[in-house]
Amino acid sequence: MRVIIAEKPSLARAIAEALPGRMQRQEGLIQCGDTTVTWCLGHLLEQAPPEAYDPADKQWRLDRLPIVPSRWQLAPRPKARGQLSVIRKLLKQASLVVHAGDPDREGQLLVQEVIEHMNYRGPVQRLLVSDLNRPAVVRALGRLEDNQTFQPLYRAAEARARADWLYGINLTRAWTLTGRQAGHDGVLSVGRVQTPVLGLIVRRDNTIRDFVPYPFYPLWVDLQVQHGQLRAWWAPKPNQPLDEQGRLIDRTPADALVTRLPGAQGQLTQLEQQEKRQNAPLPYSLSALQVDAARRFGLSAQAVLDGCQRLYEQHKLITYPRSDCRYLPEEHFAGMRKVLSSACQNDTTLNGWLSGADFSRRSETWNDKQVGAHHALAPTGKAFDASAVSDIDAKLFQLISRNVLAQFYPPLRTFEVKAEFTLLEECFRARGQQVLDPGWKPLFTTREESPPLPPLTQGETCQALSAGVEERETRPPEHFTDASIIKAMMNISRYVDDPEVRRTLRDTDGLGTEATRAGILETLVQRGYIVRKQKALRATRLGSALIAALPEAVSIPERTALWEQRLSAIAERQDDANAFQHALVEDLYALLRQSDAGKLRHSLQTAQGEAAASARRGAKSNKGDTKRKPTGNRKRTPSTGAKRKK
């Protein structure tokens, strides 16, 4: 008998419907001729607790750390025993097992750990399903692979699970017990990925809190040129009082120059003009979709993940969503006209975009070399009906479809001009852009980035009509949002200070995976380490205190980013899981020696004091606002993001 083990019931039903023969449903399985389809319910097994290895470790004690199992054990989850019993009986009768976990690292682990836990020793094949529609599942069933091919993926996932256990159990116990000595009564959870993410948010909050704004003074001049007028901005020479970004921080030179400019004659001394072509953004990975949906609709990363799961499992409108890939298989190109025509026919917006698509165009997204176990998110071809899904799901489907449709639009073509004028021996710069062909851009926005300049000729003369000096103020960075923190987790090398580590990281190395990033943020919220204030993610007093008390190596992204890199290398047969675990245990010994109750007590008291001071400042500001006459809104200048002072 052939037994197919799916990752979840929805996938099992899709597989059963694609098999020949009459379906017979029983408790925990579906019989289809000589094939039986059963399923997991997410993870049926979990890492055994410390007391399973030694009963003495049920009690939390510092002198028992680190806890490092010599032989790893898995334990059934409390609600999984019934389904595990069903799978155990089937495996005893099976002549062939088909592993039908999701096509990613975690999906490989989830089903295979059950097969190995049951000591099944027969042949195992692998079924990779990325689209739950029947034709796609039928094709996948015709392309079964040897599960042995995916052993490195399993080893990487297993190493990840064990690393999370070692890191989380030992450091959480150490700092919770240290916290009790410092007067904190709750659990202080520390995680291999969650703590560096919390560290990013805390350090951003601290930067904003400690930021001291200062004024700077851009000078503009309106110029008459041969074919019109334009505005140019002064580029002060290096001998002027400038900050690191070249902004003038002493108004005196600007005031002296502005009085001399009206009526002054000058010349266009440098002119750069070029036509640029920009291809459409690639189809989405999950994280890229989470970033865009957070920016456009204010959706949390978890809300996007949940919506995509519904579109995939319940509505069967999109392909497998937990993908880190932004490319599509080359074989999908020929059938994409039919897929998109069917998917978009009932939606006015999508149908309008569909009418402008040129399906003879072949963009760079069709690239088998860039596609791994899964490909970018795409419609399946099932007709979309906005009234049959939630508002969030409809918005997500439109975004996913839009990015695939955009592959059949021409590039955005612009004519860009950069001009430098010399007046009174000073340099003034202007830039403009003219859209020659909007291409795919109207699918994304109707806003123009910058207005065009009048026609210009190298060496032509100009005359200053008027000039002015603006007073602006530097601004701190923005608080992290769901969009910006997911983007930071995707591209963590930008937040790594160590130049040696940064050199070893690829642009694609990140914290967490597509499947876990949303959950990490929700975990931090649930544990009281961060809160959402409107769209901003802010650290709580407890979150700030924990980061201040932990060794810096635990809360900065360097180590975890390198570990993620090693896990990817294990999956690609370029590293060894045992060596990875050995290095992690060595790290644990060094980190545990740094637990310090005095430091934690001080950080808790400091965070409490800063929170109280912030509250007093807010109360004082609100009280003052009731007496102050309105003075108008401060404007932001798009070119610098700075505040313009009135």
Instruction: State the maximum Cα–Cα separation within the chain, in Å, rounded to a whole number.
Output: 95
- Same domain for 125 and 100, yes or no, is yes
- Same domain for 65 and 131, yes or no, is yes
- Same domain for 433 and 402, yes or no, is no
- Same domain for 443 and 342, yes or no, is no
pLDDT interval class at 635 (50, 70, 90):
very low
CATH number, domain containing residue 273? 2.70.20.10
- Same domain for 104 and 18, yes or no, is yes
pLDDT per residue over 514-573, tens digit each? 888 999 999 999 999 999 998 899 999 999 999 999 999 999 998 888 888 899 899 999
CA–CA separation, 643 vs 634, rounded Å? 7
Whether residue 632 is contained in a domain is answered as: no
pLDDT interval class at 610 (50, 70, 90):
low
CA–CA separation, 251 vs 263, rounded Å? 22
* Terminal Cα distance for the chain, rounded: 80
Range of the domain at 86: 2-143
pLDDT interval class at 65 (50, 70, 90):
very high
Whether residue 299 is contained in a domain is answered as: no
- Same domain for 312 and 187, yes or no, is no
The dihedral of CA 37, 371, 359, 346: what is its sign? positive
- Same domain for 180 and 197, yes or no, is yes
What is the distance, to the nearest Å, from the Cα of residue 17 to the centroid of all Cα atoms in its chain? 35
Q: What is the DSSP string of 161-172?
A: HHHHHHHHHHHH
State whether residue 417 is helix, strand or coil: strand
Query: Which residue among 115, 143, 171 closes a domain?
Result: 143
What is the distance, to the nearest Å, from the Cα of residue 292 to the centroid of all Cα atoms in its chain? 10
CATH number, domain containing residue 45? 3.40.50.140
Residue the block writes with tokens 């750069």: 272
Radius of gyration of the CA atoms of the chain, in A: 30
Nearest in space to 511 (alpha carbons), one of 575, 577, 564, 581: 564
pLDDT > 60? residue 429:
yes
Show the tokens assigned to 556: 């900065």
- Same domain for 204 and 225, yes or no, is no
pLDDT at 377 (0 to 100): 97
The dihedral of CA 59, 65, 69, 70: what is its sign? negative
pLDDT per residue over 295-346, tens digit each? 999 999 999 999 999 999 999 999 999 888 999 999 999 999 999 999 999 9
Q: Count CB atoms within 10 A of the CB of residue 634.
A: 11
> With pLDDT > 90 as the criterion, what percentage of the chain qualifies?
79
Whether residue 643 is contained in a domain is answered as: no
Beta-strand (E) ranges in 243-319? 265-278
pLDDT interval class at 214 (50, 70, 90):
very high
Show the tokens assigned to 551: 């060794």
pTM score > 0.85 for this model? yes
- Same domain for 349 and 484, yes or no, is no
pLDDT interval class at 642 (50, 70, 90):
low
pLDDT interval class at 611 (50, 70, 90):
low
pLDDT interval class at 627 (50, 70, 90):
very low
Whether residue 250 is contained in a domain is answered as: yes
Nearest in space to 132 (alpha carbons), one of 251, 219, 15: 15
- Same domain for 265 and 348, yes or no, is no
State whether residue 346 is helix, strand or coil: coil
User: Are 126 and 545 spatial neighbours (Cβ–Cβ below 8 Å)?
Assistant: no
Q: State yes or no: is 214 an active-site residue.
A: no
Three-state secondary structure string covering 608-642: HHHHHHHHHHHHHHHHHHCCCCCCCCCEEECCCCE
CATH number, domain containing residue 492? 1.10.460.10
- Same domain for 25 and 97, yes or no, is yes
Residue 147 phi, psi (nearest 5)? -60, -20
Whether residue 583 is contained in a domain is answered as: yes
pLDDT > 90? residue 509:
no
Show the tokens assigned to 38: 């059963």
CA–CA separation, 177 vs 175, rounded Å? 5
Whether residue 18 is contained in a domain is answered as: yes
The one catalytic residue among 217, 320, 409, 495: 320
Nearest in space to 179 (alpha carbons), one of 541, 521, 526, 542: 542
CA–CA separation, 58 vs 50, rounded Å? 7
Residue the block writes with tokens 């091919």: 149
pLDDT per residue over 75-110, tens digit each? 999 889 999 999 999 999 999 999 999 888 889 999
CA–CA separation, 169 vs 288, rounded Å? 32
Of 146-155, 366-375, 629-638, the least confident: 629-638
> With pLDDT > 70 as the criterion, what percentage of the chain qualifies?
93
Of 18-22, 222-226, 263-267, 380-384, the least confident: 18-22
Q: Which helix (H) or strand (E) holds 97?
A: strand 96-100
Q: Count CB atoms within 10 A of the CB of residue 605.
A: 13
Q: What domain count does the chain have?
A: 4
User: Are 530 and 543 spatial neighbours (Cβ–Cβ below 8 Å)?
Assistant: yes
β-bridge mates for residue 397, sequence order: none
What is the distance, to the nearest Å, from the Cα of residue 490 to the centroid of all Cα atoms in its chain? 5
Q: Across the chain, what does the average pLDDT equal?
A: 91
Query: Per the omega criterion (within 30 degrees of 0), is the bond before 66 cis?
Result: yes
pLDDT at 609 (0 to 100): 64
Strands 536-539 and 530-533, by their bridges, are antiparallel
pLDDT per residue over 131-190, tens digit each? 888 888 999 999 999 999 999 999 999 999 999 999 999 999 999 999 999 888 889 999
pLDDT interval class at 355 (50, 70, 90):
very high
Nearest in space to 354 (alpha carbons), one of 367, 337, 368: 337
pLDDT per residue over 434-460, tens digit each? 999 999 999 998 676 678 999 999 999
Query: Which residue among 408, 429, 458 closes a domain?
Result: 408
CA–CA separation, 234 vs 254, rounded Å? 9
pLDDT per residue over 477-505, tens digit each? 999 999 999 999 998 888 888 888 887 77
pLDDT interval class at 640 (50, 70, 90):
very low
- Same domain for 23 and 80, yes or no, is yes
CA–CA separation, 40 vs 86, rounded Å? 10
Tell me 334's DSSP state.
Answer: T
pLDDT > 60? residue 632:
no
Residue the block writes with tokens 């110029």: 223
CA–CA separation, 223 vs 266, rounded Å? 9
Whether residue 129 is contained in a domain is answered as: yes
CA–CA separation, 202 vs 38, rounded Å? 45
Q: Which amino acid is at 162?
A: R
Whether residue 300 is contained in a domain is answered as: no
Query: Which residue among 408, 423, 449 closes a domain?
Result: 408
Show the tokens assigned to 342: 């069917």
pLDDT at 633 (0 to 100): 32
